[in-house]
């Protein structure tokens, strides 16, 4: 059985590293582009196109390699990747956070800095450096976007 925690509970975000390659090349942030199938790619393009210009009061920044499936904000970078593979840590008994009807898998469990939206036709990752504090603001904004752009899988599927 899947356990869900609401965003109202405090979640410590104190992991020492990001799950993305955070390096600057000519002012752009390096974010590995996913390689989803055609349908997921179409959904992800629409989602990334509508991603906000600011997140955690940080402006959107360019990414390298250039991809319409990723977005990034600020320094240190917050990164969004749409169309990623199913998380290897996702199991039927995984503890998920539910934000605005979107289920997120926080990883690592004890001090998450990588959140993957599951139960949708495309998996969406949000990498959040510890310096931004609790993930609520970012997860709410991105959850609303996912709800609008990425259809849910049939009940019970993750």
* Per-residue pLDDT, 109: 79
Both structure tokens of 53: 């210009």
> Which residue has tokens 């840590």?
89
* pTM confidence score: 0.82
pLDDT at 72 over 60: yes
pLDDT per position as a tens digit, 131-153: 998 898 899 999 999 999 999 99
Sorted by sequence, the CB contacts under 8 Å of residue 42 that are 6+ apart come out as none
Would you kindly state where each structural domain of the chain is located, as residue ranges?
3-149
Confidence class for position 78, pLDDT limits 50, 70, 90: very high
Distance, CA of 123 to chain centre: 8
pLDDT digits (tens, 9 = 90+) for 81-101: 999 999 999 999 999 999 999
| Maximum Cα–Cα distance across the chain | 47
What residues contact residue 148 under an 8 Å CB cut-off, 6+ apart? 50
């Amino acid at each position: 059985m899947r356990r869900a925690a609401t965003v109202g509970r405090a979640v410590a975000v104190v992991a020492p590293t990001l799950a993305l390659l955070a390096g600057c090349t000519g002012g752009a942030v390096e974010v590995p582009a996913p390689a989803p199938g055609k349908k997921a790619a179409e959904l992800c393009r629409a989602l990334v196109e509508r991603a906000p210009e600011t997140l955690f009061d940080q402006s959107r920044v360019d990414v390298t390699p250039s991809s319409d499936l990723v977005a990034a904000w600020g320094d240190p970078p917050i990164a969004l990747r749409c169309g990623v593979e199913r998380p290897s840590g996702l199991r039927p008994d995984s503890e998920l956070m539910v934000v605005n009807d979107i289920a997120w898998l926080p990883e690592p469990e004890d001090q998450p800095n990588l959140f993957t939206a599951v139960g949708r036709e495309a998996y969406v990752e949000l990498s959040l450096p510890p310096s931004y504090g609790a993930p609520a603001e970012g997860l709410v904004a991105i959850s609303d976007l996912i709800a609008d752009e990425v259809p849910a899988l049939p009940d019970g599927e993750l």
